[in-house]
Amino acid sequence: MASPVSAYNSNTLDSQISNTVRDSLKMEFLADVSLLPGEERITDKDLIYICPFSGAVKGKVLITNYRLYFKSSDADLPVTLDVPLGAISRVEKMGGASSRGENSYGLDITCKDMRNLRFALKQEGHSRRDIFEVIFRYAFPLSYSQHLFAYLTQEKFPENGWNVYKPVEEFRRQGLPNNKWRIAFINKNYSLCDTYPTVLAVPYKSKDEDLSRVAAFRSRGRIPVLSWIHRENQAVIVRCSQPLVGMSGKRNKDDERYLDLIREANDTTKKLTIYDARPNVNAVANKATGGGYEGDEYQNAELIFLDIQNIHVMRESLKKLKDIVYPNVEESHWLSSLESTHWLEHIKLVLSGAIQVADKVSNGNSVVVHCSDGWDRTAQLTSLAMLMLDSHYRTLRGFEVLIEKEWISFGHKFSSRIGHGDKNHADQDRSPIFVQFIDCVWQMTKQFPTAFEFNEHLLLTILDHLYSCRFGTFLYNCENARDQHDVRTKTVSLWSLVNSKADLYLNPFYTPDAGQVLYPVASMRHLELWVSYYIRWNPRIRQQQSPVEQRYKELLALRDEYLKKLEQLQLSDSSSSFHLVNSSTSNTTSSTASTPSQQYTQLHTPL
């Protein structure tokens, strides 16, 4: 099975596959787990899975170079686990030779995707040490100087996801270059800024030398560059890192002039609004390490702090959230426990920051967004604001472009934040910033159920493969590193998978609209916990599905059933009911015409 969330496969083709998988498993235990091309069996072992929901389950575990697969041997208690090794954050031995009590000797595996797995083993031989080492070695290949699975996979897809995002094409879609903005290739060799992409859009009037001088005054050389331009009012979203003001309050004329050039590029911007994503105190504290924020010397600019906390606070918040939902959902005081994690409050701050950005821009004001380094909170804010402003990003392809552009190409440090293949689970650089972004997107899809072409399944798939290391999409920290490791040539893009089976990820209720700005409500009253992600391992939660979608799926199933019956009837009795066949085909064509959705037409073809 390709995706670990098989519960979501509604499509008939897919369920057939899963049926065959199940059948074959019955025939020969674990021998026939459908592996990915390039996936290899490493070892298998009998052990006991301590399931937090149904208790200890005897079964067999299979370790490949991609996944940990467990299946219970007891047919009455069908438990299967299918965990990509990339999702493993930490493996620990629990219990020692002296430990007593049933199932107290074994392994404790912490996963990045909100679950823990515990296995109990017999205290004989070196069985535990062996399996521990295998898991450790294959879950953290980089710590052993091995290749990530993305480099080993032989998967082939009809679509090539690496072609989804072409920077120049995307700029052209936005109407760039124009007489105010130019495309600069100064970073062709990553010489200006090693964490930026090669293609940048900068004010037409700025010269390449200016850019270099500005780079000297911006943290890690991440100069202000254009992310998005409003087609009508020409207001822009510009992103960058903090200015290197420092304790002494240094100034940089070039930087000041450069920001003014950005302001001038739009006629209606009287004052350039600079959004500093951090809380005010954090920005001040950053002066101690040479950073800081734009002061009064920046004329024609106003600075607004958005009070979004740093990566460490977010990490701790999600950890608290995990504590109250896994394995057991906090029962007695659910809402106040949820409140005390502050997770939704952080979501709210990120969303409301993005709303402010989007609002400014749609009113014709250019804005600059930065945080400290401009790769975490800044990416969240710019990409969410763009999602609100530009309906193109609300399509499936557009959303892929948005992630490729604002997150991947602009150097969100996926490798550090996720820790792909790295055993240092306590690394302070890890943080669920991208998860938080996807959560914000989910909140938006909840509030605007018809505005997005993609569905929840896409968001879940993205988050699953954020960790899985099956695709190259989220590997490494920046384009520079990706180029060095030949990601585009040696690995497969996640979008290859998605676009090859796009109908799985489409929202049936999508109604395209022209250029509407979406402002979600960023209030605790209307934000919800993303239960189907954070609590999805709880078997009680699974049936919680989008009400309308559930109905839709039932209807789809019913229709397929009827279609099948009709076909059978018509085949068996084609001569006598000839006129009816005629009428039915006319019906099909007419309803196909009335439903432009691709899905419809596809599902009609059996007739």
Partner 1 sequence: MLTGSKNTFKVRQMLPDVKERMLSQSSANAQSRDVFGLRCLPGECVLQRTVMVRKKLTAREGRGWLSGTLFCTHFRVAFMPQDSPKPDDNADPVLLGEHDVALASIEKVVAVGPNRIKLVTPNSSLKFTPEELVLYCRDMRVMCFLFDRLTPDAQVIEITYTIAKTYQPLKPGSVLSFQNAALGSVEMKQFLSNRRRDAHMNWFESASEWEQELERCGATSWRVSSVNDRFEMSTSLSRFIVVPQKVLDTELKKSFAHFNEGRIPRWCWRHPRGSDLLRMASFQNNIYHEKDDIRNLEMVLFGCQSSLCVVVELGEELPSPADIQLAHCRLRALCLGDISTSVSMPDDKWLSTLESTHWLDYIRSCLRKASEVACLLRSGHLTVALQEVEDRDMSCVVSSLVQVMCDPHCRTQQGFQGLVQKEWVMAGHRFYSRINYHRDSDKEESPVFLLFLDCVWQMWFQFPSRFQLTDDFLLALHDSIHLPLFSTFLANCQRERCKRSQNLGQSYTPVNGWRDVLNPDSSSDPSDPPLPPVWDWALQYSQERRERFTQPVPPPAPLQLLLNGNLNTNPDAHRLADTIPGSVFLLSRGTFTCPANLPPWRSSTSGVYKKSHRRAPSSEGVPGLERLLKAWALTEFPQSIPSTFGPQGPLDPYEPLLPLLMGPCMGLWRECYLRGALHAQAFSHPVSTNSLHPVERLAQEVQQLKDKLAQISTSSSSDSPTVTPEPRQTDTNLNRSTNNSTFLYPASRTQAAGASRAAPPPTSTNHQTSRGPSSTSRPGNRDAAGGNKHSFLFRHSSATDARHNPQYYPPPSNAKLPKSNGASVGF
Binding residues among 454-473 for partner 1 as defined by CB under 8 A:
none
The CB-of-572 to partner 1 minimum distance in angstroms stands at 8
The CB-of-288 to partner 1 minimum distance in angstroms stands at 29
The CB-of-57 to partner 1 minimum distance in angstroms stands at 13
Q: Any contact of residue 601 with partner 1 (CB under 8 A)?
A: no
Please report, as residue ranges, which positions from 417 to 456 form the binding site for partner 1 (by CB under 8 A). Answer: 447-451
Q: Any contact of residue 13 with partner 1 (CB under 8 A)?
A: no
Q: Any contact of residue 605 with partner 1 (CB under 8 A)?
A: no
51 is catalytic: no
- What does each C-alpha distance from 31 to 60, 155, 544 come to in angstroms? 11, 21, 33
Nearer Cβ to partner 1 (26/525): 525
Nearer Cβ to partner 1 (572/605): 572
- What does each C-alpha distance from 120 to 33, 101, 104, 200, 538 come to in angstroms? 22, 11, 7, 54, 21
Site string for partner 1, 495-514 (x = CB under 8 A): -------------xx-x-x-
The CB-of-83 to partner 1 minimum distance in angstroms stands at 20
How would DSSP label each residue in 529-540?
--HHHHTTTSTT
φ/ψ region of 243 (left if φ > 0, alpha if ψ in -120 to 50, else beta) reads beta
Q: Any contact of residue 312 with partner 1 (CB under 8 A)?
A: no
Q: Any contact of residue 583 with partner 1 (CB under 8 A)?
A: yes
The CB-of-326 to partner 1 minimum distance in angstroms stands at 12
Nearer Cβ to partner 1 (29/509): 509
**CB-CB contact of 445 with 460 (8 Å):** no
Binding partner 1 by CB under 8 A: which of 73, 550, 598, 601?
550
CA 393 to chain centre: 14
Catalytic residue among 111, 371, 440, 478: 371
86 exposure class (CB count in 10 Å sphere: 0-12, 13-18, 19+): buried
CA 302 to chain centre: 32
Nearer Cβ to partner 1 (204/600): 600
Q: Using CA atoms, how far apart are residues 365 and 230, in angstroms rounded to an integer?
A: 10
The CB-of-315 to partner 1 minimum distance in angstroms stands at 20
Q: Using CA atoms, how far apart are residues 106 and 97, in angstroms rounded to an integer?
A: 10
Q: Any contact of residue 178 with partner 1 (CB under 8 A)?
A: no
Cis geometry, peptide bond prior to residue 449 (ω within 30 degrees of 0): no
Find, among 412, 83, 65, 397, the residue nearest to 222 by Cα.
Answer: 412
**CB-CB contact of 89 with 111 (8 Å):** yes
Q: Any contact of residue 98 with partner 1 (CB under 8 A)?
A: no
Stretch that binds partner 1, among 22-30, 115-123, 251-259, 591-599 (CB under 8 A): 591-599
Site string for partner 1, 523-542 (x = CB under 8 A): xxxx--x-x---x---xxxx
Nearer Cβ to partner 1 (56/329): 329
Find, among 286, 195, 184, 196, the residue nearest to 243 by Cα.
Answer: 286
Site string for partner 1, 559-578 (x = CB under 8 A): x-xxx-xx--xx-xx--xx-
Interface with partner 1: number of residues (CB under 8 A): 78
Nearer Cβ to partner 1 (295/539): 539
CA 135 to chain centre: 25
Binding partner 1 by CB under 8 A: which of 2, 30, 35, 580?
580
Q: Using CA atoms, how far apart are residues 215 and 396, in angstroms rounded to an integer?
A: 34
Please report, as residue ranges, which positions from 317 to 346 form the binding site for partner 1 (by CB under 8 A). Answer: 325, 329-331, 333-336, 338-339, 344-345
Q: Using CA atoms, how far apart are residues 326 and 499, in angstroms rounded to an integer?
A: 33
**CB-CB contact of 116 with 327 (8 Å):** yes
Q: Using CA atoms, how far apart are residues 178 and 172, in angstroms rounded to an integer?
A: 9
Nearer Cβ to partner 1 (341/366): 341
Sort strands 272-276 and 67-72 into parallel, antiparallel or unpaired.
unpaired
Site string for partner 1, 21-60 (x = CB under 8 A): --------------------------------x-------
Residues 6+ apart with CB under 8 A from 358: 384, 385, 388, 389, 517, 519
User: Position of tokens 């106003």?
Assistant: 302
Q: Any contact of residue 288 with partner 1 (CB under 8 A)?
A: no
The CB-of-355 to partner 1 minimum distance in angstroms stands at 11
| Alpha helices in 74-192, H assignment, sequence order | 127-139, 167-173
Binding partner 1 by CB under 8 A: which of 208, 555, 582, 606?
555
Q: Any contact of residue 304 with partner 1 (CB under 8 A)?
A: no
The CB-of-23 to partner 1 minimum distance in angstroms stands at 14
Residues with a known catalytic role: 371
